[in-house]
Homo-oligomer: A and B are copies of this chain.
Amino acid sequence: MTTTETTQATETSGDELDRTLQSAAFAAAAWGASTPRERARALTAVADALDAEKDGLVSAAERETGLPEGRLFGELARTSVQLRMFADLLDEGAHQRIAIDHADPDFAPVARPDLRRMLVPVGPVLVFAASNFPFAFSVAGGDTASALAAGCPVVLKAHPGHPETSLLTARIVRSALEGAGVDNGVFAMIAGVDAGVRALKDPKITAAAFTGSVSAGRYLFDIATSRPDPIPFYGELGSINPAFATREALQERPEEIAKGFVDSFTLGAGQFCTKPGLLLIPEGTDTAQRIAALVPQVQPQRLLTTKIADSYRLRLEDLAATPGVEVLTEGRFDAAADGVPAAGATLLRVHARDLPAQASTLLEESFGPTATVVEYSSQEELRQVLALLPGSLTVTVHTSAQPGESENGDVRLLLASARTKVGRIVFNGWPTGVSVTAAQQHGGPYPATTSVAHTSVGGAAIERFLRPLAYQGAPDHLLPPELQEENPLGLPRTVNPAGRFKEGGNAGRA
Contact = CB atoms under 8 A, between A and B. Distances in A.
A419 B468 CA distance: 10
Residue of A110, A423, A436 most packed against chain B (CB within 10 A):
A436
Contacts of A136: 510
A77 B117 contact: no
Interface in A494-510: 494, 497-501, 506-510
Copies in the complex: 2
Interface string A360-395: 000000000000000000000000000000010000
A501 B437 contact: yes
Nearest to A459: B501
A500 B89 contact: yes
A115 B439 contact: yes
Interface string A451-470: 11111000110010011111
Contacts of A507: 81-82, 84-85, 435-437
A427 B85 contact: no
A415 interface: yes
Interface stretch (A174-182, A300-308, A329-337, A440-448): A440-448
Nearest to A122: B452
A360 to B, nearest CB: 11
B230 A437 contact: no
Interface stretch (A188-196, A289-297, A341-349, A472-480): A472-480
A450 interface: yes
Given A230-B221, A438-B99, A500-B88, A433 B510 contact: yes
Interface of A is mostly: mixed
B473 A428 contact: yes
A17 to B, nearest CB: 21
A435 B113 CA distance: 8
A427 B475 CA distance: 8
A75 B109 CA distance: 10
B500 A85 contact: yes
